[in-house]
Structure 1
Amino acid sequence: MPHAPESRDQDFFALGGNSLLGVRLMSLVRTTLGVDLPLSTLFTHATVAALAEAVRGGPVGRTALVPMSRGDQAPAAYWIHPVGGDVVCYRELAAKLGMPVTGVQVPDGLPSGFLLAELADAYAAAIGQDSVDASAGGRDGGEAPSPGSCPEIRVAGWSMGGVLALEVGERLMRQGFAVAPVVAVDLMEHPDEPGPTPRYTDLLAWFARDVSQVAGVADPLAGIDPGRAARPGGRTGGTTARRGRLRRRHR
Structure 2
Amino acid sequence: MERILIVDDDSDIQRLVSYNLRQAGFQVSAAVTGVAALHAVEERLPDLIILDIMLPDLDGLEVCRLVRERERSRRIPIIMLTARTEEIDRVVGFEVGADDYVMKPFSPRELVLRVKSILRRVGNDSGGETLRIGKIELFPQRRQVFVSNRPLTLTAKEFDLLEQLMRARGNVLTREMLMNKVWGYHRQAASRTLDTHVRRLREKLGDEAAHVETVQKVGYRMGSPHEAQGRAERGRDSVKAQAKRTAKDDAG
With the length of structure 2 as denominator, give the TM-score of the two structures. Answer: 0.32
With the length of structure 1 as denominator, give the TM-score of the two structures. Answer: 0.32
Instruction: State the structure with bigger RCO (CA 8 A, min sep 6), 1 or 2.
Output: 1
Q: Which has the higher helix share?
A: 2
Q: Which has the larger radius of gyration?
A: 2
